[in-house]
Every structure is written in structure tokens, then in C-alpha cells.
Amino acid sequence: MSQLIARQLAKSYPTPAEPLSVLKGVNLELSRGESLAIVGPSGSGKSTLLAILGTLDSPTSGSLLIDGVDPFALAMPELAKFRAAKIGFVFQEHFLLPQCTLLENVLVPFLADGAAGSAEQDRARKLLDRVGLGNRLTHRPSELSGGERQRAAFARALVRQPLVVLADEPTGNLDAATAAEIGLMLLELQREQNTILIAVTHSAELAGRMQQQRRLEGGQLAPHQP
Ligand code: ADP
Ligand code: MG
């Protein structure tokens, strides 16, 4: 049984005229260890889709099951806990907290359940070490390069061993060489952690390295050859 199942997801936004229909029946089924690249032109609804899969936004209609749970049936506090436990996010912007150290930043996802104990700190240190930042634990994000910040964001996304990692143009802000290196690292981490990875990307190279590729077009996911 797949751990992420989306059926006929639709999303429209109200406008003063008729509603803007962005998603028109998106179907997805992914299991642990699978990776999917989503490509498509700007404005096609890629970020909208990721926000719904990440339970940050709700669909107008359709259903989503993550690990057998319908997240949209949960009350707000439970949904926040569910999201923190099951889903890791990586965005184009790193969104690290500037006033916090790297170690503190990577511990942020634990705050949904209270404080982080020594086991959690251990895991955060190991992950920062894994992404090559083991000697930068007490540094602030402003002291890092763009690629290093994104690596710290990967560690933050993975620290709770989420079932699903959602990445919205994770290499979009980086120069070509750094983007290639960071994209490879994201895929390595996905394999090591055995997560589902769904990444929106404009990089044909990154998309081509993922197991499946689809194009968001006319509000639906179509097959895509990278
Ligand atoms: P992409 O990520 O593929 O560039 P988005 O998902 O960001 O596309 O946006 C898809 C469409 O939905 C765009 O036309 C955008 O203007 C519109 N849209 C996104 N968010 C909202 C919102 N909160 N309210 C109204 N329209 C929105
Ligand atoms: Mg977008």
C-alpha cells in the first residue's frame, strides 16, 4: 500500500470574477523510497500542489492520505503535529532563522512537540555532519554560502525522519555548479533516509536523476520525458 495517495485533488482560488481553477484533478501514488520530479511553467500550480501535499493548504476537493491518515480531517493542533512528524520541507529560500545557530535551526522541527532532548540533538549533529557542516554547528546562517545554507535546510527537513520530503525549486537560487552538487546531495539523502521525495524543479539534470517525472499542465499531472 502506498504511503502517499492523492486522488482528484482540485484547487481554485476565488477572484472578483470567476474562480481561478489551478489544480483540476491531480492523482499521485508514492511509496517509501520513491522520488518524483514535477516540472511545468511558472504559474502552472506547482507550489500550490506542494502546499496541499504538505498539508499547508487544503484542496477545494479531492482527497489526500499520508501514512493512512487524512490530514484534512485533523483539528489544527493535531494537524501541526502530524505535519511536523511526517513531512519535511525544502524551499528555494532556505528560511533558516538568522538569529539562531545552525544546530538550533535544525532542531526547530522538534518544537512542535516541545523541547529537543539529547537524542534529538544527537540526530541534528549527525545530520549536519552528514551534509558537511559538522564543524559549523554554532555558526549563524549569515556566515554560510548559499549552498551551505541549503544543506542546512536539508538537515532541518530530515531531522525528524519524515515519510515525505517536499522540495520547491530547491536549487533555484544557486549557481549551476552548486545547484548540481546540492541536487545530488538531496537525492543521496533521500535514498539514505528512505523517504518519499517530491521535488519541483526547473533543472532537467535534477529531474532526470529522479525515478519519476511528471509535468503539471492544465491543472493535471502528465507524463514527462526529461
Ligand atoms: P507555480 O509554483 O507553478 O509557479 P503557483 O502554484 O504559485 O504556480 O500558482 C498557480 C496560480 O495560482 C497562479 O496563477 C497564481 O497567481 C495563483 N495563486 C497562487 N496562490 C494564490 C492565492 N493564495 N490566491 C489567489 N491566487 C493564487
Ligand atoms: Mg512555484
- How does pLDDT run across 161-172, given as a tens digit for each residue? 999 999 999 999
C-alpha cell at 120: 534529538
CA of 100 relative to ligand 1 center, distance in Å:
31
Does 202 fall in a domain? Answer: yes
Q: Residues of the chain with pLDDT > 70: what percent?
A: 100
- What is the domain range of residue 143? 32-39+74-223
Q: Is the confidence at residue 210, as pLDDT, over 80?
A: yes
Does 187 fall in a domain? Answer: yes
pLDDT at 115: 83
Mean pLDDT check: name the lowest of 111-115, 175-179, 197-201, 204-208. Answer: 111-115
What is the phi-psi region of residue 203: left when phi exceeds 0, alpha when psi lies from -120 to 50, beta otherwise? beta
Closest CA relative to residue 158, chosen from 119, 116, 194, 115: 194
**pLDDT band per the 50, 70, 90 thresholds, residue 225:** confident
**pLDDT band per the 50, 70, 90 thresholds, residue 57:** very high
- How does pLDDT run across 85-123, given as a tens digit for each residue? 999 999 999 999 999 999 999 999 998 888 889 999 999
Q: Please state the domain count of the chain.
A: 1
Single-letter code of the amino acid located at 15:
T
Locate the ligand 1 atom nearest the alpha carbon of residue 57 and give its number: 23
Does 26 fall in a domain? Answer: no
State how far the Cα of 138 lies from the Cα of 131, in Å rounded to an integer.
15
Q: Which residues surround ligand 2, an ion (CB under 5 A)?
A: 46-47
C-alpha cell at 196: 518519499
Does 15 fall in a domain? Answer: no
Does 18 fall in a domain? Answer: no
Does 78 fall in a domain? Answer: yes
Domain CATH for 114: 3.40.50.300
Does 66 fall in a domain? Answer: no
Does 209 fall in a domain? Answer: yes
C-alpha cell at 96: 533558516
